[in-house]
Structure 1
């Protein structure tokens, strides 16, 4: 009651003040969340505008490159398409067909400008403009913004994008530089341009009003949600504060009434004692009181000394210890004799600043509760504690009862958690960087591999290409280092037959996968000797089989196949890891639901799982990865949704077996040809690589992105195609379905499948291998050329 009077607040008022503070904090938290959402939506506007602008730019640039590659195109002369006066120096600018139709040569810039005008006329969306600081036509002169951007291109900048207002409306304007190549010099050489010079740029303007409208609609929902959450929180805070304040007030009033009652009873007792007490009763009563005090002090002393937290009694003014408990002695390192009689500042137990904070809080509240302190032990180790203090009276002197709960271990665990979360975030960032960088390295290393196969290179040029390959491999190793998942279990490496390990674990796997899944093992070599921990390799197979079982809820086929395979530079270029040579390989294939590209990329991350909560820890595939890495091996995954999954584990052969060997000598490739080959591949990078390899060796290549387009292009070029190179699993129409239609059109056409699955697994998917050749991915240029030549020469 005295404490409440000294502060001028009743307990109920203090609860209300506390509730108001919480309400203010809640309001600030909701406001910050709303601000964050608003800022994210603003960033989304820039991102969407830039993506649309880049898409427009790449489309327009593709038109120009196509036209440039063919030296322009001939089009009929119309009122809107008149002969270009700037091409008058070209003798064949205007031609007449045998039927008498007049045609005129349209250069890339002319064509691009008409495409821009047509896009604006029919869609009314993005605006395009080809421009230059030295335009041939007045219509190509830059506006003020474009002129400034072109000037920055002269200083080395290659692209610029920002928000500008056109006719009072917001647009995202994007512009990228154009370089003069050999076909462009037909028109622009007279202007003084040389090959490789910056001669202008393509400008794209995308309206932002639709994006702003879409995001404004989303933000209205965000505002409503935040307002609802804010009001709901305020209601809860208000209800809790009123209820707690009412309970505290009632308790306070009951305490005051009890104190008054005690006072009244003491007065009545004194009056009764004055009338009835005798000397013997007074002596007995006093002895009883003394015994009660003694027992109370004994109980307090035992509780004080054996408490699991630090407890001390010290003078309030100087902080000099009067008593300390065992926990203090244990954690501080000071004995009871060293501590008692000395001040906490003198021992270095607490800093002057920390003591001043405590004294200030005692002056304001009369007590201290939940203050976090860093206390220093005798051996200069810091202890993080949560401190509580109460003022007590000892022998008529104001003293301080201090309690400190050791939070050092808790804080260390919290720091470990923060570190783990930080490392996870860094891992995600590193994964994104490594993925993008490896895309660049794949192109560099792939085409260097083609250059190494070029017999016309002299020794100096070949050395330069090898230096590029070596540097690219080092860069690839750096990116792989960002993603390394290291495990340090103790391994029992011994020479073992890989076939024997598979056969040993086969019976156990049959029980793991269940009766509705067929298990098949194929050993393609009589003996494959490896130096491994057999138990760990069995664990790998068990984890993969368990994963396959969960992917085949309606039953299916689990295939385990062993073999020895060559790992070459093409494999390393495609996957970004490995060492050339011969390896033992275990291929584990299932006919389950498969996985998409995003899931496949994260399959080996610790704690990542696609299973329901409680049905998977997310550690199974991470353990597989760690075991394979400790065996100096590597693992690949090939999967597509609805078409199953294949894991391939590569392990070094033992020294007594066929160990990894480096390739020597120059790559041997067969003679090229002039035949026409239809290539159907849905992966753009692989499609372009196949095109480059075959074209380089003289073949005529027709490309298709899926099975349906392959059938259409075969019909359009019927009688000209000599070989069909077909991926098996593609969108719209699979390779098997496309080949069936092509055979109906031309039964004797030669077909070669390309796939990342094993041959046995492909047969089990229903593809008849009779008379059909198979090229396994990743495709080595030499193997592809040999296979193509072999099939065509039959």
Structure 2
């Protein structure tokens, strides 16, 4: 009996071990089947990544008594986790807080580095969580966080099955991404086919037009050799077109003066790009003939003349036409009546004897008969100042004729024009003055054009002064930003090497803050001079405007009350922050000028959604969601005429020398550049309100979503070359990157950098170079080094690019740029980003 009692526990343990072994084998089999695709669904059955997350959450909730399941997606650009789905939806905020708690505790990092689910405690003793990464061999695509509460336990096999579901979800997400790429590629191929088809159709149409034209046409190369000739040429030169191909164009010119004609044609084309005129040609049967020749030069992609297209029009009946024209010249009446020149004949005492249709129309009358019958006293009825008629007639009688006599004339509707008159005295058979013959021209538009030219000259002078300010700002910014970069960098390096209790810490922090404020002032100076590189990005207008309030308060002075009324929950927009500075400065200065004495200036923000398009005077605004920025004042206001011109360049209501007229034109240009609309509402004596509508930025779009959480300083082992002509700034950048583990080489000039790379035996990963340097600019240096080191990545840094890597202030596509002055964190993050992009590509 004692022996059987001792054996019983051993038998039970053996059976339990056997059952556990069977269970593990079964789970391994299920996991193996899942990996081979047995449990996976087709990516085509899902509308997008959110649908995959929703389905995964539902399946996880079915496996065990979870109170909530939430899934995060990984932003491929920033590597940040972004919550995509939560089941149930009302637990979303709770799950985000738990996620942040687990992140701080390192649980999320543990789950990402592992493959199987991780169980962890929550923020309260009764909370338990399961964390599982969604990963494919390519990369981590998401993360599952499932919440348990109370004493609920997990059924056997739950963790491996959750692992299977998450692997399947990751595979579906990867499949959806590949599917989208295939769709884009297919659409591009279809568009290319359509373009080629359109080009082919156009070429066929041009070919048909060439060969079916009734006018003779030739295609000639740059040396004068005929490449193509259409059938109509044969009727002129009496030769089949195919016999002309390959021969010089001089073949069809008359033997008399062939070279002279050819030189004349080529000289005219060289000066004006075309030739039109009469030439003498030669046919095979009848000798010389006259033809009207039109030649146009066709330039290639390098703007060099590659071909000429010539059109030949027969003028064999020219003699007949000239005879008919001579006969028509005798028909004075017809010419007189149809002439576009305003011709008149009048008596000395001021009655019309005859006028043509052009004269009647220039003064607003329907016909010559109407003006002759309506006007019985030219001096009193047509002249704005009758004394001008008396002086005009007196001069005519003294000199016999007058040219370009300018006088103000009244039209039928009462409006005035400025007329220039050319008149002569017609004498009778006895030599006595009998009448006045002449013509007038309406020079009102020409005179206004002259005045406009003078106005434009004044505006040009103002623009040149502004350009000088811009050049000064750019020059100062380059050197000043270098110095500020050294101050900020050295202060940060010093802060890293002292303890938190060191009495110098506060002083170093104040130095860093002062340098950063100085950098902001330089940025504002460049923004005013329109010399700042524009890089549109995610922006909250409330935060941007709040940061400018102190400067704006100093700008408007003590007599004007500045009111700031932001809307909570303001939608983000995509705009360069420096452009927001320009908008506010120009609008606030405009409001300050409109307020005489004390007044109120109000800045407001609001979200607005338009269900249908809105029509404004300046432009139509499509339906959609917008962020509205309003700047209003209690100043003098504007009339309608001023409002219609307020956004025109150089328009100003200030006295000469008091303003450039570019402020509101700059506002209009910035808003247009960012796909928005600006409107103005004002009445004299009732103030002015400017409203700017900027499109809302939908941050859930993964292509444009910003990185909400600031990344930590990341290090690496890549080999980096820094080229900077400011030694102190070069030392700061080198020391920062060496602290982060990078292998750093330095050069103080472009040619030193070239020689250094030529001598290197190992691979160079990254070039960090200043843009503006004495010997060679940064872009040219990058091109030289990339020729020596294929695949070399480049990071440009500058406080003022001088359009070397930007066009009209907008950064060139695909270039990596770091604005001076920069901090250690900004340098580290940018270097890590550029190297990461290299690895992914």
TM-score calculated relative to the size of structure 2: 0.28
Question: More helix per residue: 1 or 2?
Answer: 1
Q: So what's the TM-score if we normalise by structure 1?
A: 0.30
